[in-house]
Amino acid sequence: MTAASARPARRRVSCIGLANTTAQSDNSSFDIVLAYFRSLYIFHQNSIRLLHFVNMLAHMLSADKRLDAELKLVGEYGLRCKRELWRVQYALSRIRNAARELLTLDEKNPRRIFEGEALLRRMNRYGLLGEGQNKLDYVLALTVENFLQRRLQTIVFKNGMAKSIHHARVLIRVGRQPVNIPSFMVRVESEKHIDFSLTSPLGGGPAGRVKRKNQKASGGGGGGDGEEDDE
């Protein structure tokens, strides 16, 4: 009776020990899986941070190049600020978007024929495209420099009427001119009418204040070496 009663007790102890061992193995495997997923999460977060840093660095480098290019154009064409350049960029983007949308239509589409010819005529009228460039593909090739070269300020300087691009801006802004906007887009047919007024000292008119003063100081001689007033 004693031996028979002891056997079940031994079996219970062995079952309890086996259950504890199984529970410990399950806990250890769960900890391993948890640690694995935790490492994956940390790696994913680090990858996101690294990707964000790389994108931010690339954006900073591209922004530096863009700022340098904009500053160069502002100085080359005598712009007052970058806002004038951004306006030209916006106008160019709208024109290119219109041309790109027309190119998606069929060549025999009435809208493409009508609006495409109107757009090309406008580009030719302002001297942005040559006479032989009568395709919408040439509109997509336009740059900001093409628009800046057709400004009144640039044309005044290129015609030799000003000493510098900044002097051209002063000639346009100061005084009583019919057009006193340096960013005015000049048409090809209107370019020949750009000249000094006949009543201006720079256009052969009466002498300016400085020249009259120099002539008076030299006794009425031709001592007009000083700068003339832009009257």
Q: Where are the domains of the chain?
A: 41-77, 81-144, 151-212
Instruction: Tell me the mean pLDDT in the region 89-105.
Output: 95
Where is pLDDT greater, at 155 or 224? 155
Cα separations (Å) of 180 from 34, 192, 231?
A: 74, 17, 14
CB 73 within 8 A of CB 148: yes
With b for 16 or more beta-carbon neighbours within 10 A and e for fewer, the 175-198 pattern comes to eeeeeeebbebbeeeeeeeeebee
Dist. CA 151–CA 126, nearest whole Å = 10
- pLDDT, mean over the chain: 80
Dist. CA 146–CA 140, nearest whole Å = 12
Q: Is the pLDDT of residue 56 over 50?
A: yes
How crowded is residue 82: how many other Cβ atoms within 10 Å of its Cβ?
14
Q: What is the pLDDT of residue 41?
A: 67
Residue 127 backbone zone (phi > 0: left; psi -120 to 50: alpha; other: beta): left
Instruction: Tell me the mean pLDDT in the region 128-146.
Output: 92
Query: Among positive and negative, which fits the CA dihedral 41, 43, 48, 49?
Result: positive
Q: Is the pLDDT of residue 92 over 60?
A: yes
Question: Which band of pLDDT confidence, cut at 50, 70 and 90, is reported for residue 200?
Answer: confident
Q: Is the pLDDT of residue 18 over 90?
A: no
Where is pLDDT greater, at 195 or 222? 195
pTM of the model: 0.65
